[in-house]
Structure 1
Amino acid sequence: MACFEPEQPLALPAWSPEVAPEPYRIKAIEPLVLTTRARREAALQEAGWNTFLLRSQDVYIDFLTDSGTSAMSSTQWAEMLRAAETLTYSEAYDRFVETIRGLYGFPYVLPTHQGRAAEHVLSQVMIRPGQYVANNMYFTTTREHQERAGGIFVDVIIDEAHDPAAKHPFKGNMDPEKLRDLIRREGPEQVAYVCLELNVNMAGGQPVSLENVRTIAEICRSHGIPLIFDATRAAENAYFIKMREPDMQARSIPDIFRELMSYADGVTVSAKKDLLVNIGGFLAVRDAALYRRLEQFALRFEGHPADGGLARRDLVAMAQGAREMLDEDYLRSRIEQVAYLAARLRDGGVPIVEPPGGHAVFIDARRFLPHLSQDQFPAQRLAGEIYLASGVRTMERGIVSAGRDPKTGRHKYPRLELVRLTIPRRVYTQGHLDLAAEGILEVFARRERIGGLRMVFEPPTLRFFTARFEPTV
């Protein structure tokens, strides 16, 4: 699977346009205002060149994150209103749990207020200090919670994931030999669990193949090591399996999704992505004894195990979103939006992570700004320049996000230095994507004149949220 031909879209009726329209109608709107360049300059300076700190009213098109930014359906809103009027907490919880059990296949489900809460509970319960946790690349909060619990993060993703130009169809795959080497070197009892992220965010939204999942599951079970999925974008991963993996085209998305889940001992999920809601998450596991430990720990931070700190309306909105997320027409439209923006940038010469992933287009800041070293924070500067040019908010995924080594205190230098254009689900139209592309192409035309940044404020952890910078040139 070293290379592949780009997948073809699902067959459309003969009368359909080349780019299929969104499979929904828009019934509510939120006004957008494009501010002046002078106002954007003032806003970015006030935010310390950190796009996370920009005020929403100063942003025209927001590609900062796909977390909690989805447009909910009319059915979700109706379910939320009915829950507030007619359902008890127990009834809302039962509806949520029954849906998750039916779709994901795990008997024990613990709601949390969002995905990072699920990561925190899991890490504190499952990791003994000094144990290793194998991951297919890091995600910021996932690694933070693993290390905070005393775990030692180990990246066992395939090498192609670190090459933005590599066209491997499943760059999220774990390398089985890297995992086996870790187990041989440290012993299976020293591996707390294997954490397999589906549609790997920091690699560019890259999927994991079903073949790879089967292999990793076999390794884990032969050594008695739990396999935990970060299943936050598992529906999008299932779509890529259908489109890219041999002999999968005839299978339905729900069928592929169920098989995927069958190989895990547990999952953490940020419902603010695939499940199309603005708040929420959950843990789900197969083992009753593990669930009881998770439940007791969650009581201290997340409220009652039957609500996870969420309102009744949030529980039923997650249940409905879980059903909607597996709709093939929706997934096609979602992923084709990402592919469309990627093509616009690629055609203009902008270096991006190939192949385009499921939730975002990632610009390769190393190749975009080759005259800047990583110590000059090129991706952070590029995110700021894109905002100045067009009012489009993006975010850095490079040295700033990677943080510092907890032992040495030095910067971590990831091979990927990226700017992420994260497309919210069911929110923007092709016109918005075109405007974003034109703004980025304008920045690309003057890239040689762009300088670096220096960091003037750095928090102790997860610095990409609140660090501040100033231009060096």
Structure 2
Amino acid sequence: MSSSKYAEPFRIKSVEMLKETTPEYRRKVLEGVGYNLFKVKADDIYIDCLTDSGTSAMSDRQWAALMTGDESYVGNRCFYDYEKAIQDLFGFQYVIPTHQGRAAEQLLARMLYPKRPQAKYVLANMAFDSTRAAAIIHGVTAIDLLEPAGYDTIHEHPFKGNLSTEKLEAFIQEHGVDSIAWVQMIVTCNSNGGQPVSMANIKACGEIAHKYGLAYIADCARCFENAYFIKEREPGYQDKTIREICLEMFSYFDYAFMSIKKDGLVNMGGFFCCREQSMYDVAWVDNMNYEGHATYGGLAGRDLAAIAVGLYEGSDYRYLKGRIGQVQYLGERLDEFGVPYVRPVGGNGVYIDARKFYPDIAPEHFPGLCLAADLYLKEGIRVSELGASAFSYKDDKGVIHYPEIDLVRIAISRRVYTNSHMDLIAETLGELFKSGSPNFKGMDKSDWYGATTHFTSSYTPMFK
């Protein structure tokens, strides 16, 4: 293809019909689930942009691989293909399979937190809810040290996921090394727009962590998208392959864990990996108690076979160009309506700035939740709020802390929707932005405790 415009490097072989509903039906649905879109049945959704996790369409080669699944209890052939793919793309020798990324993160937490009993903090660019939840279980607080540009939703910056080296140094100096469990980099940074982290920043933060004897860990659910942005935006990487960029990226980390449900293009799976035999031996035994034997880790052999194929497909430059091109297309359509979103768009979706979208709704009344409910009521589109509901918390004095930015994530599933779906999303958002919320003055929420209450909470709408 010689044109500068992109086209998806695949064609559609199988389709799934979508259910259409009326606004009246959708209003009854929302009332029945306490206005929490996490509780809405998938059959009642028209376009589902709640998450990009586990929602990918698998390829013909992945479906073919499923049929080769070796379901032997231990030592199944598919595990070794899975292991080889991870070693080849990530550079770690030892691999532990888990059923998804959260399980791998909990495995890591169970191994490392007890080694630093005085630790009060885990430091990150911007921790996601799973990291906060894993920390809370061990009495630790996740601290966000994002560079200032990462909180700016208006101005363009190539790497808004960067962890501030200045903040990192200052926090360690102020609180002491013993108070810190480890340093964690989320690539891409999901909580502020799927924003990438530069190679220079990954390296620099690793040097600081190691200077103080701290472990440096990668949460790499969307690392191939991050590598794509490095290739496109960071000097010196234009001629490198995605694999070459990944191998350098992970050379700076001590450990890594991944939800393969994102960039691995599968519906279930994860891993933890390390370089030391001693750490592997501990992880092997611990994982047996929660996930299973080290050669299946909560996954069927056919899942492992599909993952081995999906990791290579997900790291293919042509695929990444088309995938991120679709996200950019949605951003361009939103520009036509002046809709405020995190610029530039990230890799896994477009994130709407809810406070700018509904400026008349205060953070304590959840503008993001109101926007999410409005989108569902208007066209059956489901999105997720990543703002005041998802990330606010009460401290030990009872003071509620709100996040610096209030976002609504329009997560784009991989190889699932067409640009016609993007058009409907953009046009619906454009109408809502022009009119303001047709339904709500805000919402109330009673439970503030825990990092994952936004999955289970019910909300009380304040109607206009």
User: What range describes the TM-score normalised by the shorter chain of this pair?
Assistant: over 0.9
Of the three residues 12, 16, 22, the one matched with 1:26 is 12
Q: Bigger shift: 358-367 or 395-404? A: 395-404
Matched, 1:283 2:269: no
Aligned-partner residue type, residue 462 of structure 2: T
Matched, 1:68 2:54: yes
Cα distance, 1:407 vs. partner?
A: 2.6
Matched, 1:471 2:461: yes
Match of 1:462 in 2: 452
- Aligned partners of 2:342 and 2:351 also within 8 Å: yes
Taking the TM superposition and a 5 Å limit, the aligned residue runs for 1:170-189 are 170-189=159-178
Match of 2:366 in 1: 377
Taking the TM superposition and a 5 Å limit, the aligned residue runs for 1:10-409 are 12-13=1-2, 16=3, 19-84=5-70, 89-127=75-113, 128-131=116-119, 132-405=121-394, 407-409=396-398
- Aligned partners of 1:459 and 1:467 also within 8 Å: no
Q: TM-score under structure 1 normalisation?
A: 0.93
Cα distance, 1:374 vs. partner?
A: 0.8
Task: Give the Cα–Cα distance (whole angstroms) in 2 for the partners of residues 63 and 274 of structure 1.
Answer: 16
Cα distance, 1:196 vs. partner?
A: 0.5
Q: TM-score under structure 2 normalisation?
A: 0.95
Task: Give the Cα–Cα distance (whole angstroms) in 1 for the partners of residues 9 and 202 of structure 2.
Answer: 31
Deviations 1:85-143 (A, max 9, x none): 89975212112111111111101100111111111111121113441211001201111
Q: Bigger shift: 419-428 or 84-93? A: 84-93
Matched, 1:453 2:443: yes
- Aligned partners of 1:302 and 1:308 also within 8 Å: yes
- Aligned partners of 2:91 and 2:251 also within 8 Å: yes
Task: Give the Cα–Cα distance (whole angstroms) in 2 for the partners of residues 338 and 99 of structure 1.
Answer: 27
Task: Give the Cα–Cα distance (whole angstroms) in 2 for the partners of residues 32 and 416 of structure 1.
Answer: 33
Q: Secondary structure at the match of 2:393?
A: coil
1:410–1:114 Cα change, 3 Å: farther
1:455–1:112 Cα change, 3 Å: same
Deviations 1:191-235 (A, max 9, x none): 221100111001100000011111112112222211100011000
- Aligned partners of 1:49 and 1:381 also within 8 Å: no
- Aligned partners of 1:196 and 1:229 also within 8 Å: yes
Task: Give the Cα–Cα distance (whole angstroms) in 2 for the partners of residues 150 and 54 of structure 1.
Answer: 32
1:85–1:143 Cα change, 3 Å: closer
Task: Give the Cα–Cα distance (whole angstroms) in 2 for the partners of residues 26 and 289 of structure 1.
Answer: 46
Matched, 1:426 2:412: no
Task: Give the Cα–Cα distance (whole angstroms) in 1 for the partners of residues 285 and 117 of structure 2.
Answer: 20
- Aligned partners of 2:133 and 2:450 also within 8 Å: no
1:305–1:88 Cα change, 3 Å: closer
- Aligned partners of 1:52 and 1:465 also within 8 Å: yes
Aligned-partner residue type, residue 295 of structure 2: A
1:451–1:232 Cα change, 3 Å: same
Cα distance, 1:171 vs. partner?
A: 0.8
Ranges in structure 1 where 5+ consecutive residues have no aligned partner: 1-11
Q: Bigger shift: 338-347 or 215-224? A: 215-224
Task: Could you list the structure 1 runs, at least 4 aligned residues long, displaced by more than 6 angstroms after superposition.
Answer: 85-88
Of the three residues 427, 430, 449, the one matched with 1:438 is 427
- Aligned partners of 2:66 and 2:305 also within 8 Å: yes
Q: Secondary structure at the match of 1:428?
A: coil
Task: Give the Cα–Cα distance (whole angstroms) in 2 for the partners of residues 205 and 457 of structure 1.
Answer: 27
Match of 1:5 in 2: none
Task: Give the Cα–Cα distance (whole angstroms) in 2 for the partners of residues 48 and 244 of structure 1.
Answer: 43
Cα distance, 1:343 vs. partner?
A: 1.2
Number of residue pairs the alignment of both structures matches = 459
1:306–1:469 Cα change, 3 Å: same
Match of 1:8 in 2: none
Cα distance, 1:448 vs. partner?
A: 5.7
Match of 1:9 in 2: none
